[in-house]
Structure 1
Amino acid sequence: MKTALLFGATGFIGSHLLRDLFDSPDYSRVIAVARKPLAVSHPKLTVLIGDLASLPALKPQLVADEVFIALGTTRKHTPDEAEYYKIDHDYPLQAAEIAKANGARSVFLVTAVGANVGSGVFYVRTKGEVERDILALDFDHTHIFRPSMILGERDEDRPRERLIIAIWRVLNPLLIGSANRYRGLTGNEIAHAIAKAARHQTAKVQIYHWQEMVALLRM
C-alpha cells in the first residue's frame, strides 16, 4: 500500500484525481497540499495547508511513494508574468524536489500540449521549462500529461470559456492524424488517465497526449 502526495487538489483536474486516489486500492494514504481546507473528507486523506512560500517548512511531512502535480493558474487570475511563473514553474518544481528528496520514486505532472522550452509563447515555454527541470530530477518514473482543451463543467462561471469548449466539442472529431493531440478531454478523463498510468509504470519517462491518455482509459 502506497502513499500519494497531491498538489492541486482544489483544481479542476486535481479534484477529480483526488477521488480516483481515494478509490484506488493501491493507496492507504493521500496527502493533499492546499492553500485552504478541502471541502471533502476521507479516511485516507491528510490535508496540509501550504503554498510555495511555506513548502520548505512542510518538508518533513511530505513523504510519499508518488507525487502528483496538477498545479496551474490562468492569465486572468494571475496577469503578472513573474507571479504566473512562480505558480506554473517554481511551485511544481519545488514540490517535486522535496518529494524526491523524501524518497518518492514517481512523479506525475500535468502541463499542456505543445510544451516547448524554445517557444516564443510565454505559456508554452513555461510548461516546457517545468517539464525540463522536473525531468532533470531523475525520478525512477516521470509521467508527463499534455492535455489540450480541458472540457467539462466548472464551478466558476466562465462564459467565454464555455463558448470555446462548445466550439471545441464540434472540432474534436475533425482533429485526426497528427492533429489528434489537440483533441479535448474532460478533467475527469484526464484524472482517470493519470490514475491508470500510476497502475502501469514501466518506462522511465512517458509523455501522454490525447491518444496515449485515451489508450489508458480503455485499459
Structure 2
Amino acid sequence: MAYKAIIAGASGLIGSNLLNILLEAAEYSEVLVLVRKELPLKHKKLVQLVINFDDLDKFADTITGHAIFSCLGTTKSQAPDKEQYRKIDYAYPLQLAQLAKQNGVKQFHVVTAIGADKNSPVFYTKLKGELEDALLRLGLETLHIYQPSMLMGERERSHWLENLATGLFKIIDPLLICGLKKYRSIKGSTVAYAMFKKSLESATGTFIYTSDKIHTN
C-alpha cells in the first residue's frame, strides 16, 4: 500500500530533506506540500498547494492521508513580531493537528526543540512547550514529537549567530556524554530520515525523541 504524506514547512532545513526522502520512497505515492510560495521543484509524486496559513480551514478537505509532518518554524530575524512568531510556531501546527484528527489522519509528526517546556522563562522553549502540551491534549491516535538540539546543515538563509553556533558545537559535541548527549548538535537530514522511518511503523500513542534518540532510530 502506498501512502499520502503532507508536509508543512517543506522549504526549511528539515522539511526540504524530508521532502526529498519521501519523493524517492516507494512507500509513498503522493506528497502534498503546503507552501506560501511554490517550490522550484517538479516530481510526479509532488503536489504543491500554495496557501495563506491564516486561511488553513479553507483547505481542510485536502488534509487527508497517512501522515502529516509539521516542520514549521521561524526565527526572530524572520518574524520579529512575537504574535507572528507565535502563529508560525504554535497556531499553525496546532491547527494542522486539529484537522488531522478531524479527518482521520493516522499520524502527526512535529518538530519542536530540546528543552521545550510550557513553564520555561525563555520565549522560544516556552512556545514549543505550549505547543507540545496542546498537542498532547488533542488525543491524537499517533503523535511523534522530535526535539532536536542545534540543527546542522545547509540553510536557504543563515545568520552569523547560527554560523558561530555551528562552529562552537563542533568543539562542544564530543564533550557532551552520558545524560548530556541529547544536547549534541544534529543534522537536519538525520531528523528528516528519522521522521520518515517512524512514519512506516504501525505503533500508536505518543512518542518523544531528543537528539540522542533521533540518532539511534
Q: TM-score, normalised by structure 1?
A: 0.95
Equivalences for residues 175-214 of structure 1 within 5 A: 175-214=176-215
Gaps of 5+ in 1: none
Q: Tell me, yes or no, if the aligned pair for 2:12 and 2:156 is still in contact at 8 Å.
A: no
Equivalences for residues 66-215 of structure 1 within 5 A: 66-215=67-216
Deviation string for 1:88-124 (max 9, x for gaps)? Answer: 0001001111122111011000000000011111111
State how far apart, in whole Å, the 2-side matches of 1:57 and 1:26 are.
29
Cα drift, residue 144 of structure 1: 0.2
State how far apart, in whole Å, the 1-side matches of 2:128 and 2:202 are.
23
Deviation string for 1:42-97 (max 9, x for gaps)? Answer: 11111111132121111112221211000000011111111111110001001111
Aligned-residue Cα RMSD (Å) equals 1.2
State how far apart, in whole Å, the 2-side matches of 1:40 and 1:99 are.
26
- Compared CA separation, residues 157 and 202, structure 1 to 2 (3 A): closer
Number of aligned pairs?
A: 216
Q: Tell me, yes or no, if the aligned pair for 2:6 and 2:31 is still in contact at 8 Å.
A: yes
Equivalences for residues 23-34 of structure 1 within 5 A: 23-34=24-35
Q: TM-score, normalised by structure 2?
A: 0.95
- Tell me which amino acid in the other structure corresponds to 1:81: K
State how far apart, in whole Å, the 2-side matches of 1:73 and 1:140 are.
27
Q: Indicate the SS of the match to 1:136.
A: helix
Gaps of 5+ in 2: none
Cα drift, residue 155 of structure 1: 2.8
State how far apart, in whole Å, the 1-side matches of 2:72 and 2:106 are.
19
State how far apart, in whole Å, the 2-side matches of 1:156 and 1:79 are.
16
- Tell me which amino acid in the other structure corresponds to 1:188: S
